[in-house]
Amino acid sequence: MKTAIKERLDALRAAMRNEGLNAYYITNSDYHGSEYSAAHFCALRYFSGFTGSFGILVLTLEEAMLYTDGRYLLQAEAELEGTGISHISMGSREQAVKSFLLEHLSAGDRLGLDCRTLSCSEYEALFDALRELGLKLKCSKAAYSAWQARPLLKTEHAFLLDKSYSGKPASEKLFDLRKEMKLLGAKVHVIASLSDIAWLFNLRGDYTQYSPVLLSYAVIEECAAYLFADAKALEPSLLYALKELKVEVLPYGAIYSFFSSYQKGTRALLSRHSINCELMRAVEKSCEIIDAPNPTIYQKAKKNPIELKNLRKAHINDGIALTNLIFSLKKELHLFKDEYSVSLRLEQLRKEQEGFVSPSFATIAAYGENAAIVHYQPQAEGSKALLGEGFLLLDSGGHYYLGTTDITRTISLGALSDEQRHLYTLVLKGLLRLSFARFPKGTKGYALDAFARSALWNEGLDYDHGTGHGVGYFLNVHEPPNSISRSHLQSSAYTGILEPAMVTSCEPGVYIKGSFGIRLENLLLCKESAHDGFLEFETLSLAPFDHEAIDASLLCKDERALLNSYHRRVYEALAPHLSEACAAWLLEETKAL
């Protein structure tokens, strides 16, 4: 594979020379900024071999740099070894790219990129950074001429999500959206975010294995709407529902010429953070831009009562599957060949649950030192065998018609060191402190981050990833606008305020390179507190923490009470659905400390 990567980079450099380019900028992004893109768009993976969900490859005629974040540093080092990509960078994206190009290019040199794979705001930030160096940007498709056997876009399948799951008809969602448009003075709204489109029209699809959306754009007017998608992908019931809503289905690529018929100066609402650069240019030719977040982002983040009722049931189902797996690992470890076999068995157990559709992301089943790689993914060949000692970190989730789940448990497979039990308990303390926090209305996610980290900070430890992300309803497992992170500048596109009915993950961790990793995660529902003017969380996820890994002496009285209360909930919710043997084990696992 390393030799193949070198050959691919050589082919790309030849294509760059043909276009007079001195550098090239490559991502895995589609034209919608999706986290999980179809293979057709994953140029970064093809040219570098890097399999993380976020990264940027910057290539000159002699050198190459991968930019990523802390989740993927160890993974990038392992996957890029021997490929000729010798630079790995983190920190500020623009600064990393700027520093690399400053070292390897001269004023007047040209950097190529597919402008459809960057949002308008990303393009503008990159343009400003390179202008300071005297460099020029050129929209280019050179990468595709060098991409041999590029995967074709598959024929998708999209269906109408029943109201018993969506909780709100699309007609009402459109009505609410048009009210927001009117308040902002917009005559038209352009949407490129696939999850926003899916939520608005109550449709779901199979764009990728982990993204139940449809490759599409949408344009909403005062009395009409347009969906740009492959009509062959739409089920008859969905086509009928769209017709009832006065939504016209047009070819996917027709969006770029659609706005030419608009009267000059038509006011169009869109977000520069979610519209790709080329589409923005097409809209700007005819329209006056109102740059603001898509109203649907906030509307879909706040789950309605039916969605919340369904979500609670989805988490019971998910907890049944995960608890059965943990029981098997504890009692029948010999049945599991390696890390990969764990992920296969967990998916099988989820398939047995009502309404399961697919995993919500690739399962992270990481044993021993592999767990120090934050987003490690076991492969069918070469994954690590499980021994009767140490930790297995298991981060997984499912898409159900009833909602989306995401949960992490670190599981002891046998003897643990004092250090492992100590660090496990510190991570658990952080999860408990944040999960049971109470905070004033209007609080932003970054203000809560220290709840999860303080126990680690007290011992000079930390983790290099966010503490929490928003979660969609049978949509993207990572969903804005809500998040919990150290950085109050994480996304200037959103307010960052946590509001009732938002679902956010809580996932502190600690990672010891070359030895082991620990992460614990539950999903939290923000809700009104009994104290006027305050909010708190309800824990949705249901699965036991590892009794054998907890050093109870490190937990204060309140933390023990919180853990015991949570474990009572877990047992009461799950035990009726488990075998007698598994229920008996769960009773012991959740006994009060």
- Residues 541-561 have a mean pLDDT of 98
Each residue's pLDDT tens digit, 224-277: 999 999 999 999 999 999 999 999 999 999 999 999 999 999 999 999 999 999
3-state secondary structure at position 61: coil
Asked if 289 and 270 count as a contact pair (C-beta separation under 8 A), the reply is yes
Asked if 360 and 397 count as a contact pair (C-beta separation under 8 A), the reply is yes
CATH of domain 159-297: 3.40.350.10
Q: Residue 489: which pLDDT band, with cuts at 50, 70 and 90?
A: low
Residue 419 pLDDT: 98
- Residues 372-379 have a mean pLDDT of 92
3-state secondary structure at position 308: helix
Query: What is the distance between the alpha carbons of residues 219 and 227, in angstroms, rounded to a whole number?
Result: 7
Asked if 321 and 363 count as a contact pair (C-beta separation under 8 A), the reply is no
> What CATH architecture is 302-566?
Alpha-Beta Complex (3.90)
Query: What is the distance between the alpha carbons of residues 355 and 69, in angstroms, rounded to a whole number?
Result: 34
- Residues 557-571 have a mean pLDDT of 98
pLDDT at 488 over 90: no
Query: What is the distance between the alpha carbons of residues 204 and 124, in angstroms, rounded to a whole number?
Result: 32
3-state secondary structure at position 88: strand
Buried b (16+ CB within 10 A) or exposed e, 524-550: bbbeeeeeeeebbbebbbbbbbbeebb
Strand order in 438-440's β-sheet?
Answer: 438-440, 534-539, 522-528, 503-506
User: How does DSSP assign 495-539, residue by residue?
Assistant: --B--TT-EEEE--EEEETTTEEEE-BEEEEEEE-SSTTEEEEEE
- Residues 132-156 have a mean pLDDT of 93
How many CB atoms within 10 Å of residue 321? 22
pTM of the model: 0.94
CATH of domain 1-146: 3.40.350.10
Higher pLDDT among residues 536 and 74, named by residue: 536
**Inter-axis angle of helices 339-351 and 305-331, nearest 10:** 140
3-state secondary structure at position 149: coil
Each residue's pLDDT tens digit, 271-281: 999 999 999 99
Comma-separated ranges of CATH 3.90.230.10 domains in the chain: 302-566
pLDDT at 155 over 90: no
**Among candidate residues 378, 393, 372, the one with its CA nearest the CA of residue 340:** 378
- Residues 480-495 have a mean pLDDT of 74
pLDDT at 490 over 80: no
- Residues 531-547 have a mean pLDDT of 98
- Residues 509-516 have a mean pLDDT of 97
Q: Residue 71: which pLDDT band, with cuts at 50, 70 and 90?
A: confident
**Among candidate residues 516, 524, 480, 477, the one with its CA nearest the CA of residue 500:** 524
Residue 74 pLDDT: 81
Mean pLDDT, rounded, of the chain: 95
pLDDT at 202 over 60: yes
- CA 474 from chain centre, in angstroms, equals 13
What the block records as the tokens of 310 is 């369904």
Each residue's pLDDT tens digit, 93-143: 778 888 889 999 999 999 999 999 999 999 998 898 888 899 999 999 999
User: How does DSSP assign 358-427, residue by residue?
Assistant: EESS--EEEEGGGGGSTT----TTTPPBP-SBSEEEEEE-EEETTEE--EEEEEE-SB--HHHHHHHHHH
Comma-separated ranges of CATH 3.40.350.10 domains in the chain: 1-146, 159-297
The reply to whether omega before 481 is within 30° of 0 (cis) is yes
Residue 98 pLDDT: 86
Q: Residue 165: which pLDDT band, with cuts at 50, 70 and 90?
A: very high
Q: Residue 88: which pLDDT band, with cuts at 50, 70 and 90?
A: confident
Burial of residue 499 (CB within 10 Å: 0-12, 13-18, 19+) is middle
Query: What is the distance between the alpha carbons of residues 407 and 555, in angstroms, rounded to a whole number?
Result: 22
Q: Residue 548: which pLDDT band, with cuts at 50, 70 and 90?
A: very high
Residue 496 pLDDT: 87
Query: What is the distance between the alpha carbons of residues 265 and 28, in angstroms, rounded to a whole number?
Result: 34
Q: Which of 117-131, 167-181, 359-373 has the least mean pLDDT?
A: 117-131
Query: What is the distance between the alpha carbons of residues 269 and 272, in angstroms, rounded to a whole number?
Result: 10
Q: Residue 493: which pLDDT band, with cuts at 50, 70 and 90?
A: low
Terminal Cα-to-Cα distance of the chain (whole angstroms):
51
> Tokens 């499980």 label which residue?
386
- CA 72 from chain centre, in angstroms, equals 14
